[in-house]
């Protein structure tokens, strides 16, 4: 029977450690389009109806399955040859998340709400896409013996990031300006700091290895083939394996 130290040593595996950073990268943006963003908008005096509209942006996380087959089918120019299928998408989404956060960090919702909405929507879409790629990366990068540890450390990193994006961003904004008067610069500084935290995900992407998998992606040539191979067949396989219980 393995000792406790031998059991815990699995978390020193580089693939497991990197998954903690990927979890951090996935968990950071979600509150920045949820509660933290709502708090900023309330501080800015944005109408409640407009804040409610912003909540629709978060639906991107619930519907990410709709475009997940595209991630398998589309190869990113240049990056695919340099990094591979999964890491190229990871780097692309992480860079775009940083870009969206920096756009938000240069805007004041009191002055330019339209651009702020566009950046928030982009943040949610790229964040949800990153979640898709991280899940595929985790499944393909290790055998079943490491999957439990990788899932555990992923969630640990995810929760730590949520704390930083929630309470952490509020603390940063308060540290910048602790007055009771609304100051857009304080919130902009907080979101710029969140963009810097995303560098942990880029660090993990560049230093990790592309998963080696025997799974071959079937090329598609039209919409019908895409729907068949990307949506219909996976659903049929899911129900054949687990039946109605998968619902």
Interior CA angle at 37 toward 104 and 189, to 5°? 50
Residue 134: predicted pLDDT: 95
User: What's the pLDDT at 69?
Assistant: 83
**pLDDT attached to residue 58:** 82
What are 245's two structure tokens? 């219980």
Enumerate residues 6+ apart whose C-beta is below 8 A from 86. 133, 136, 137, 140, 210, 211
- Phi first, then psi: give them for residue 232, nearest 5 degrees: -65, -55
The reported pLDDT for the residue numbered 247 is 57
CA angle 111, 116, 118 (to 5 degrees): 140
Identify the three-state secondary structure at position 211.
coil
Tally Cβ neighbours within 10 Å of residue 47. Answer: 9
The reported pLDDT for the residue numbered 9 is 78
Q: How many residues does the chain have?
A: 247
Cβ 205 vs Cβ 87: under 8 Å: yes
pLDDT at residue 170, rounded to an integer: 93
Give residue for tokens 């450390």.
153
Mean pLDDT over all residues of the chain? Answer: 87
- C-alpha triplet 107, 112, 115: angle, nearest 5°: 75
Angle, vertex CA 173, rays to CA 171 and CA 174, nearest 5: 65
Query: How would you write the pLDDT of the chain (247 residues) with one tens digit per residue?
Result: 566 776 677 788 888 899 999 999 999 999 999 889 998 999 888 888 778 877 788 888 988 888 888 888 888 999 999 999 999 999 999 999 999 999 999 999 988 888 998 999 999 999 999 999 999 999 998 888 888 889 999 999 999 999 999 999 999 999 998 787 889 999 999 999 999 999 999 999 999 999 876 566 666 666 776 667 767 777 777 777 777 665 5
The reply to whether the predicted model has a pTM over 0.75 is yes
Alpha carbon 207 to chain centroid distance? 18
CB 21 within 8 A of CB 201: yes
How big is the CA angle at 209 (ends 9 and 31), to the nearest 5 degrees?
80
Number of other CB atoms surrounding residue 110 within 10 Å: 14
| pLDDT value at residue 233 | 74
């Amino acid at each position: 029977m393995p000792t406790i130290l031998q059991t815990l040593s699995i978390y020193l595996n580089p693939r497991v450690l990197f998954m903690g950073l990927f979890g951090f990268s996935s968990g950071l943006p979600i509150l920045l389009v949820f509660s933290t963003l709502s708090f900023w908008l309330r501080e800015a005096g944005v109408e409640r109806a407009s804040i409610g509209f912003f909540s629709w942006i978060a639906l991107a996380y619930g519907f990410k399955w709709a475009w997940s087959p595209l991630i398998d089918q589309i190869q990113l120019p240049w990056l695919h040859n340099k990094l591979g299928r999964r890491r190229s998408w990871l780097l692309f989404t992480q860079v775009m998340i940083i870009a969206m956060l920096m756009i938000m960090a240069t805007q004041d919702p009191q002055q330019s709400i339209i651009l702020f909405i566009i950046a928030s929507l982009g943040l949610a879409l790229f964040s949800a896409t990153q979640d898709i790629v991280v899940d595929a990366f985790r499944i393909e990068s290790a055998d079943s013996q490491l999957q439990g540890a990788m899932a555990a450390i992923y969630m640990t990193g995810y929760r730590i990031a949520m704390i930083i994006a929630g309470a952490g961003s509020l603390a940063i904004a308060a540290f910048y300006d602790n007055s009771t008067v609304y100051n857009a610069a304080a919130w902009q500084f907080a979101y710029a700091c969140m963009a810097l935290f995303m560098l942990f995900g880029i660090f993990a992407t560049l230093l990790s290895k592309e998963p080696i998998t025997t799974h071959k992606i079937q090329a598609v040539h039209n919409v019908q083939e895409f729907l068949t191979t990307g949506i219909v067949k996976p659903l049929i396989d899911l129900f054949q394996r687990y039946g109605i219980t998968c619902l």
